[in-house]
Amino acid sequence: MTALLEVSGISVTFDGFRAINNLSFSIGPAELRAVIGPNGAGKTTFMDIVTGKTKPDAGRVLWGEKSQNLLKLNEAQIARAGIGRKFQRPTVFEDQTVAENLMLALRADRSPFSVLGWRPQPKHHRRVEALAGEVGLAEALPRKAGELSHGQKQWLEIGMLLAQEPKLLLVDEPAAGMTLAEREQTTALLVDLAKTRAVVVVEHDMEFVRRLNCKVTVLHEGAVLAEGSLDHVTKNQDVIDVYLGR
């Protein structure tokens, strides 16, 4: 099985601080992966590099069957190539309705000229309704996203990611601020999504990671400390020292 995303030997330094240090990572086309690590381990920087927000000083990031070099693309091009990102803090367009938010994310040509002439057809409305149903916001379609509760915004953002139909989903702390029931729902959704695409979940919460029941990558000081099943990495002495032991 060839990897969907192959990150090899990347390093990045911010003002002398080495945020990522010779990190390598790879994920297959339909795989669920949890990335854990203490604060400052480089989890968010790693996501920034994959999505094009930060350029690394060294290393390679290759994508897809054609091994496309992601470092040459900007954020928008990477998103169009099929990498979706969910931020830690829910970021939806609060001034626009739930329907508009989903319509914006719907997979379609993104160039200004085609968007200018784009008009929603019945199939687009149906798709938006289906997506809203999937994330439990069917009733909220005409409401402004800013009126939603924190948990609902998280769901709306997940709905927008689904609308993008990405091949790889990067999810930053999805369970933050969710109730127990919502967490369980989120876990089920992520596991389900990983059947058809690659999903990388960055998470602090061990319980949540345990429920995902997947391969785990532990980051520490910008490098991979251990990789394997959760039971395997929690037995690793290094991991216990830097992360679990505290």
Partner 1 sequence: MSRSFLIRNPSVLWFLLALAVFTLAVTLMADGIGAGLISTSFVKTLGKTLCLCLVALAMDLIWGYAGVLSLGHMAFFALGGYMVGMWLMYARTEEIVVNALSGQALPPTPEEIRAGIGTQIFGVVGGSEIPPVWMFAHSLTAQLLLVLIVPGVLAGAFGWLAFRSRVTGVYLSILTQAMTLALALYLFQNDSGLRGNNGLSGLQNIPGLAAVPQATLSVWFFWASALALALGYLMAANVVSGKFGSVIRGIRDDEARVRFLGYSVESYKLFLFTVTAVIAAIAGALYYPQAGIINPAELAPIASIYLAVWVAIGGRGRLYGAVIGAALVSLLSTWFTGGRAPDVPLGFYTIKWVDWWSVALGLGFVAVTLFAPKGIGGLFDRFQNLRTPDRHGADLGPDKGSLREKEATE
Residue closer to partner 1 (CB basis): 153 or 220:
153
Q: Is 35 exposed, middle or buried (0-12, 13-18, 19+ CB in 10 A)?
A: buried
Sheet holding 17-27, edge to edge: 17-27, 5-14, 58-63, 68-69
Residue closer to partner 1 (CB basis): 102 or 225:
102
- 130: Cβ contacts below 8 Å, ≥ 6 apart: none
Closest CA to 47 of 32, 28, 61: 61
Provide, rounded to whole angstroms, the least separation between the CB of residue 78 and partner 1: 8
Residue closer to partner 1 (CB basis): 1 or 180:
180
Provide, rounded to whole angstroms, the least separation between the CB of residue 80 and partner 1: 4
Provide, rounded to whole angstroms, the least separation between the CB of residue 188 and partner 1: 21
CB atoms within 10 A of CB 181: 9
197 close to 5: Cβ distance less than 8 angstroms: no
Provide, rounded to whole angstroms, the least separation between the CB of residue 227 and partner 1: 27
Residue closer to partner 1 (CB basis): 85 or 220:
85
Which region, left, alpha or beta, applies to residue 69 given φ > 0 means left and ψ of -120 to 50 means alpha? beta
Using CB under 8 A, list all residues that contact partner 1: 51, 53, 74-77, 79-80, 84-85, 87, 91, 93-96, 100, 103-105, 110-113, 115-116, 118-120, 146-151, 160, 164, 177
Tokens of 63: 């994508």
Produce one character per residue of 19-29: b if its CB has 16 or more CB atoms within 10 Å, e if not: bbbebebebeb
Residue closer to partner 1 (CB basis): 52 or 209:
52
Residue closer to partner 1 (CB basis): 127 or 220:
127
36 close to 225: Cβ distance less than 8 angstroms: no
